Amino acid sequence: MSKLPDAEKLCTQLARELKARVTPASAMVGIHTGGAWVAERLHAALGIKEPLGLLDPAFYRDDYAKQGLARDPKRSKIPFAVEGRDLLLVDDVLYTGRTVRAAMNELFDYGRPASIVLVVLAERDGRQLPVCAQLAGAKVEVAAGMRLRLRRDGAGRLSLELERAG
């Protein structure tokens, strides 16, 4: 298996590529947990005026009837008006697209954004919904039965790693 990309370098690269997309109406929202870590980096690097939003779309997931409520759902915090905003929605890994669908549904319960741009650190094959990222740091090949996830160590360094799904 090829080596996984360096998450720190991907953050720097994403921040550079995102610059052109930031408007005066921009605001950023990170999806709990890994997406929020990436968003913290991008938000600081881009100097976005509005405070960073945090979204845990646990109450909007489509697997509730099968799986029940996600363990330890976090409180979503959107500290700005969503109405008319150009939103930069940030997640760590784009896979089935179901988390993004849930996140967009939740965002619309806060207001009607002018636009949403999806930014992910990495994407992999396996989309089950018509969702695509406008900006992806890297495309990673992941074998079936494995999960690609972002970790943050005690010093705050981000890294991608593979683990058995389940």
Partner 1 sequence: MPGNPQLDANGELQHLLSIEGLPRELILKILDTAESFAGVTERDIKKVPLLRGKSVFNLFFEGSTRTRTTFEIAAKRLSADVINLNVAVSSTAKGESLLDTVANLSAMQADIFVVRHGSSGAAHLVARHVKPHEHVINAGDGRHAHPTQGLLDLYTIRHYKKDFSGLTVAIVGDVLHSRVARSLIHGLTTLGAPEVRVIGPQTLIPAGAAALGVRVFHSMREGLRGADVVVMLRLQNERMTGALLPSAQEFNKHYGLTAEKLALAKPDAIVMHPGPMNRGVEIDSAVADGPRSVILPQVTFGIAVRMAVMSMVAGGG
Q: What does the binding site for partner 1 look like in residue numbers (CB under 8 A)? A: 56, 58-60, 64-69, 71-77, 105-106, 109-111
The distance of closest approach from Cβ of residue 114 to partner 1 in the complex, given in angstroms and rounded to an integer, is 18
CA proximity to 92, closest of 44, 45, 158: 158
Task: Please check whether residue 105 is in contact with residue 88, taking contact to mean a CB–CB distance below 8 angstroms.
Answer: no
The distance of closest approach from Cβ of residue 37 to partner 1 in the complex, given in angstroms and rounded to an integer, is 19
Phi-psi domain of 45 (left: phi exceeds 0; alpha: psi -120 through 50; beta: other):
alpha
CA proximity to 161, closest of 118, 121, 103, 119: 121
Comparing CB distances to partner 1, the nearer of 60 and 142 is 60
Comparing CB distances to partner 1, the nearer of 37 and 110 is 110
Phi-psi domain of 126 (left: phi exceeds 0; alpha: psi -120 through 50; beta: other):
left
Comparing CB distances to partner 1, the nearer of 49 and 77 is 77
The distance of closest approach from Cβ of residue 123 to partner 1 in the complex, given in angstroms and rounded to an integer, is 26
The distance of closest approach from Cβ of residue 164 to partner 1 in the complex, given in angstroms and rounded to an integer, is 21
